[in-house]
Every structure is written in C-alpha cells, then in structure tokens.
A and B are shown apart, each in its own frame.
Chain A
Amino acid sequence: MVPLLRVEKVNKAFGTNHVLRDVSLDVHAGQVQCVIGPSGSGKSTLLRCVNRLEVPDSGHVYLDGQPMGYRWKGDTLREMTSSQLAVQRRQMGMVFQGFHLFPHRRVIENVIEGPVVVGGVGRATARERAMELLSKVGLADKAEAYPDSLSGGQQQRVAIARSLAMRPKLMLFDEPTSALDPELVGDVLAVMRDLADEGMTMVVVTHEMGFARDVADHVVFMDGGCVVEAGPPGHIFGAPEHERTRSFLARVL
C-alpha cells in the first residue's frame, strides 16, 4: 500500500548547521504519528520540509505517491510553479505554534479565506461550513470576533478550523500547544483528539507526552536531526531501545 505521506532520506542544513540527516518516515492514511524529541532535534524543520515551507537539500517528500514540489514530465522531474505547489499544499493543513491567524480579518473570515480565495467555493457555502467547523472546535459564538480578542487556546482552535476548511487529507501540527498557558492546553488537545477519532491522518510535533502516549498510533523519537527510534507508543514509552530515548524520556516524564 502506498503511504499517504512518505519522507525519503531528507537532509536539510542552515549554513553549517545540519538540521536533518537522512530522515525517512511513512505515514499511512488514518494514522496519527507523534514526533517527539529535545528542542533543536529537527522536528519542526521536518514538518516544514513536508509542507515545503523549507525546501530539502536532498531527499524527497511524497504525498499520495507524488513528489512534493515536482511533477513528472516523461523521465524527469520539473520543479513546480508557486501556484502548482499551492494546489499540492491544499491537500495538507498546517497548524503552527504561533497560530498565525490573519489579524485583519474576523474569525469567520479567517476560516472561509482558504475555501473562497483558493478553493473557489461560494461565500455562503463556505460560511455554512465554517460555522460547522467553528462549532466543532467550540467557538461558534466567536465567529464575528477579531483574533486578538481571543485567548491563545481559542486562537489555536480557530487556526485548526481554518486548516480543516480546506478539507485536507493530512494535518500537520507544529508544537500546537507550546505557546499556550497550561490551563488552555487541554481544550486544544481535546479538539485534536476528536480529529484523530474521526480518522484524520495527523503528524504532530509535540512535547505533550500524555497526548503522544494516548492518541498516537506511532511515535517517532528524533535527536540531532536523526530519527533515533520509532514504533508504537507502548514500545517507545514502555521499552525504549536506545539510550538517548531513555534519557530524553527520563527528563520529560
């Protein structure tokens, strides 16, 4: 079976800082994979390479068997234009640590922006669907508010709704709760849990070990730009094989 997402020997360096070293990863449809590891281990960069916000120095990312950022032309790969890449990106949503809602637009406008501007969906239809999504994340009553009047947790839930509005096949979460006050983390994790229960394919970079243990099908431990160890949560948390995994878990648990 072709995995929904395949990361194949991806390398990325910023100057002399080699952030990703031959990272490979397969994510099958319906799976929830959590990527854990110390800060600076390359987790976020990996996610950004998947979405091609960063261009890998070598290696490839495949979505549905198609290489990200390239299209086949006979026996060669042609680099995509910005708008072709945009079409490909629509298939995956991304949630950022810093939310990045559009501050000049209301909550509802943030959510319909993608479908209307990019997806060509009519405003009325988009609004209806956006209201459904906002109810789902528990924020239907904030539809007409501006993002800066919401708490961090609320903003992050709107950001999730904004991504879902594009009906992605895959959701990427880049430390979605790291910028939140502790008491707001739970609401966001609950929304993500619901999403996982509905069968959404998710790759979650996180420091929430409880979430990784309970929700993930597969946990990836990264350190120093490499995947050190990967497997079912029971294995990673219960019987880690590598010393580095053990010492990391000892520090965070």
Chain B
Amino acid sequence: MLVVLWTDALIFVLIAVVLGFAFHATRHPHLRVPWQQVGRSRVAAGALVVLSVYVAIGLLDSVHFHPRLEAQTPAVGEASQETPTYSTQVISLLDLWLQPLREQEEKTFSAPFATHLFVKEAMEQPDGSVIRAYPRLEHGGAHLTDPARDRAPDILLSTLLGLVQGLIAWTGFLLMVLGLSAWRARESFAQRVLQLRQEPTQAAWRVAVWTLLVMLVLGFIAAELAVKYHILGTDKVGEDVFYQSLKSIRTGLVIGTLTTLVMLPAAVILGIMAGYFRGLTDDIIQYLYTTLNSIPGVLLIAAAILMLQVYMANHGDEFNSLVERADLRLLFLCIILGVTSWTGLCRLLRGESLKLREADYVQAAIALGVRHSRLIARHILPNVLHIVMITLVLDFSGLVLAEAVLSYVNIGVDPTMNSWGNMINSARLELARDPIVWWSLAAAFGFMFTLVLAANLLADVVRDAFDPRLRGTA
C-alpha cells in the first residue's frame, strides 16, 4: 500500500520543477549556453556523476509504502483472507532493497568487517562456568567456520567478484550509451569510441565515464561484501552503519533541496516586487526581511521545532507511525531553515530588479502600459533567473552541513531519523571510548564529505558559468 509522505510529495514536485526548468532552459540561449559550459567542465562532469548516484539513492528512499503482511496464523482467520493486511510500518524501496542490511542486527558495537562483538560479554561455557569474552556476531561473517583463517581470503574473493561485476556492468552500460548515441548521430560505433577517447571537447565525458567506473565498482564491491559483513561496523544497538549512512542520504538531500524550494516563491516574488514597485511596497518588504534577519537563526529554529512538538503532542492521534512523525519534523525544519535563509536571495533580487527596472526596454514597456504582472513575468523574472540558480546551488552544501550542527544542539531532525547529524552527535561519546569507536564518525564524515565536496565543486562551475562578472576569468 503506497504511502506518500509530505517530503516525498515535495520531492516529486521538485523533480517536476527541475524538468520543467530544463525544458525551458533548452529553448532560451541565455540559460542554455552557460549550462553547456558547465557540461563541458571536467570537474562538473565528475561531480554530476557522483551527485546523480546520491540522488538515485535518495529517490529510491522516497517511495514509501506499507509492506504487506503474510497471512495470519490459521487460528483466527476465515473472513480476513479476502482483504490483504498491511503492516503499520512504513518502509521505502531502498529499505526493501537493503533488507538484509536492515535486518541483520547485532547486539551492540562491532568494528568494520568484524566477526566478533566489540565488547566482552559473560558467556556460559558448556561445563557451566562463566567466562567473559568477545562473542561471535550473529550475522557479520557468520558463514565462516574459522574467522581468523578464512576472513581475509573471503573478503579478497568477494572484492574481486565485485570488481568484475562492476567492470561488466560498466562496460555494458557504456556500450549501450555509445551505441545509442552512435545510432542517433548516424555514425559508426568505432567512430564514436574514437571521438570519446581523443577529441578534446569530449574531455568532460571521459571524466564522467571514469567516475562512473569508480562508482560502479565501489557499489558492486560494497554489495558483495555488505551481505556477509558489516562493512562499516555496527552502532551501539547493533544497527549496520553502512545502512544508516545510505539512509541518511535522503535526509541530507531533502534538507539541501527542499529548503530552497520552500523559500523560493516568497524570496522571488517579494524580492522582485520590492525592486520593481519601490516606494511603500519596498519599505514593507525591506522591513520584513530586516526584522527576520536580525533574530538569531538558532532561536527561530529552536522555537519552530518546539512549536511542532506542542502541535504533535496535542494532535498525537494524527501521526500513527514513526516515519510520519519524523517526516513532518523534517519538513518543518526545511520550512524554518527556508524562513531564515530567504532574506539573502530576496535582497539580491531586489537589487537586480531595481537595476532592471531602469533598463530601456522595461521603461518602454511601462510607457506602453503593459500590465505589471505581465511585465514582471516577461522581462524581469527571466533576467534574474541566473541569480536564483547560483544561490540555489551555493546554498545546498551549506544546508547539508547545517543539519549536522543543528542536531548537535538537539534542534535538528527527529532523533529516530537516520541522518549524518545524528550519527555525528552520537559519535561524540563514542570517541571517548577506549579502544576508540571511530567508524560511525568516519562513515558520516565520508558520505557527507563526498556529497558536499561534489556539490561545492559543481557550485563553483555553475557560478563561474552564470556570473557575468566572472565569466572567463578563472
């Protein structure tokens, strides 16, 4: 039974907007040309491949449903057989795919690739005596008879297997894409390959192809290993850290993108109105954003999160599953982050509209008596779109990082939700252990760093391409 969470719905709206915009951009050269420039950049190509892997995982994790329950034990049901019963749990496609990772839980901490628990436990020996030792894991490396001897060869073998699978998948994918493009360009396949390998204009494609190879190989190796071991260890209650890191991707992406989407209408409309109409409208809008801006953001966020808790406490019956509660909190966080961050964009747009308003063609249109709404839509809005785009891309990584800090102050996402911020927050205590528990922190760091780095690199290229002041300098 399909469940559409609030953020799911908004994600699909966002995708629609992006597609619509892409369509719009292809038909307008002032948008198309910079994007083509972005596409030619080697850095951007690599970053885009990495980002699309993240996005793909995030999207898989955004299709939620109630899993169907197997029929009940025969004792009860005669009538209940006709209608299938669904669990109250909400899981996503990603959960379904990662079923083994999700369900292979240990008791508590275990290190990456470990076969034994990280802490000693009292174990009853066959002769009745009790010793304290590291017990074998229930799932990690459970297929090995003698872990000390078999583990290294087993890991090596699985890695090789994953490598080969990755290579095959990559080759297959490449052949398909090249064949398709050769067919479309009506060239021979060999020509196409040669072009890709040698032509300087195709440099970006080469980077993309190699990045893809790395991602595919890594993915397949991880897939091979993850079913047998906890490749990034387990956390305090024995959950697989790799699974948590993958689940956190969606949280990061949602915060980074939905926040901007939520604030966009207000920022664009108010910013343009302030610059275009000037006078009283301008004063009011300026007052609004100066006031909001002067309240420390942390306080606004804390208050909003508390407000949501009051609401949920009073309307407890409306949120029947954990996922829905966590989702609403995530959405709220996005909205309130939007409220604190729209002012910057709004001010930029106001300045730009002030300038555009004085342009000859706009003055001419005003003189001709064109309606305001039409004028804004035809002449002002298209000319500030590049600013919107730059802000959007630049804000993304900042927001992903902000999530971690907010979780630290306990006003971030719901504590039961998987997020890098929550992982880092719990890792604070793990660092004080001796021997140190480093894998949660390292995993969160690695996944977050990759995403933010890719986003930052892309943002750089996008800004260089769109910002007329910098065009051609760097």
Are A and B bound to each other?
A: no
Q: What is the interface of chain A, defined by CB distance below 8 A to chain B?
A: none
